[in-house]
Chains A and B, each alone.
Chain A
């Protein structure tokens, strides 16, 4: 089955530690995205990548970093510079076709800072 996988489902981090969230897709999609969702809130864009080895900051990129070395992978690192990282993180991908914005989402990773 084609789809997007995120791991781990739950992640706990101590303050001051960096942590990397995994996102993999086998849909052969060009574009990939990372969103953050806080309780009762909507999705906010962290980073996005339209092609391999290229990515752009979204609305809340501070304290996060990404890489796109392979088309199917778009890991997100939450650094110690992110002051309030406890949230639900969602990865998504799209085909990259002009105009169409149908996104396919992964199941999410819930990050808790202890």
Chain B
């Protein structure tokens, strides 16, 4: 089973780009990598998902190197409302494993 490792916390300022890296050395061939955002007392919210190379949507980019043993979530120009916990998720449908989560604090 692919286990993930993330930094426990990160600080940033409004307007900066934030990159959060997740390590998943034992990722399986058919595993996707998914990132979620969670605010206090709410369910996690899907941000982005990828399998390899780079994926971009309206809120974030996901960079995955060729060996797929890590991934980096990139949040461009963060705002105060991006203060939350970010989870990296790796695995197929039958066994999903959440990472420890990274607590991002954005300061004015």
Contacts and interface: CB of A to CB of B under 8 A. Distances in A.
Contacts of B31: 99, 101
Given A42-B87, A42-B101, A101 B96 contact: yes
Q: How many of chain A's residues touch chain B, expressed as a range?
A: 20 to 34
B76 interface: no
Interface of B: 30-32, 34, 36, 41-46, 49, 51, 87, 89-94, 96-101
B87 A98 contact: no
Contacts of B46: 102-104
A33 interface: yes
28 contacts: A4-B43, A31-B93, A42-B87, A44-B98, A45-B98, A48-B94, A48-B96, A88-B41, A90-B43, A94-B93, A98-B92, A98-B93, A99-B30, A99-B31, A99-B92, A100-B32, A100-B93, A101-B31, A101-B34, A101-B49, A101-B91, A101-B92, A101-B93, A102-B46, A104-B46, A107-B42, A108-B42, A108-B43
Nearest to B4: A42
